[in-house]
Amino acid sequence: MPYTPMPHLLATARLELRHWTESDVDAHRVLVAERGGGMPSIEHNRRMIADQRAASALTGIALLAVIRRDVGDFIGYCGLTVGRASVDEPEIAYELFRRVHGQGYATEAASAVLDAAIATGRRRLRATVRPWNAPSFRVLEKLGFERDRVSTDDRGELVWLTRSLP
């Protein structure tokens, strides 16, 4: 089924979600390092940005950089990806710096992405969350996602959630 491409620029009251740029490389490296496991190389991040842009051109969906409009700083990413799902039922994904957790930015960004997903004509979104990640469950529940099933991968349990779109 053909879908309308997702916009690559979304704006909310406090945030701008846009395509990745070279200026996001250093901040994204720090975000990835915050997960544990070390700092990725600059080249690795440049490839990630190039891969994201190429995937977006093919699928019409995108993970977008999340920028605070008041100060212009990169605070994470949010968007749609094939991930563990499909082009027809993509996965909503987001990750923000710990320093901005608890301020409603994830819900605000994910809500804008949800609206963009509806505008593409898709019928359902998916999400996957590790069982320990209570804040992500809260964000997804606010957006109307419901728990669907549990699976496992090489890192342990993974909870799947779904949301039907109007």
pLDDT, residue 2, reads 85
pLDDT in tens, 26-78: 999 999 999 988 899 999 989 988 898 899 999 999 999 999 999 999 999 99
Q: What is the DSSP code string of 31-47?
A: HHHHTSS-PPPHHHHHH
Domains and CATH numbers, the chain: 9-164 (3.40.630.30)
The residue type found at 151 is: S
**CA quadruple 56, 138, 152, 89: dihedral positive or negative?**
negative
pLDDT, residue 1, reads 62
pLDDT in tens, 97-155: 999 999 999 999 999 999 999 999 999 999 999 999 999 999 999 999 999 999 999 99
pLDDT, residue 48, reads 87
The residue type found at 50 is: A
pLDDT, residue 153, reads 93
pLDDT, residue 93, reads 97
Cβ-contact 153, 119 below 8 angstroms: no
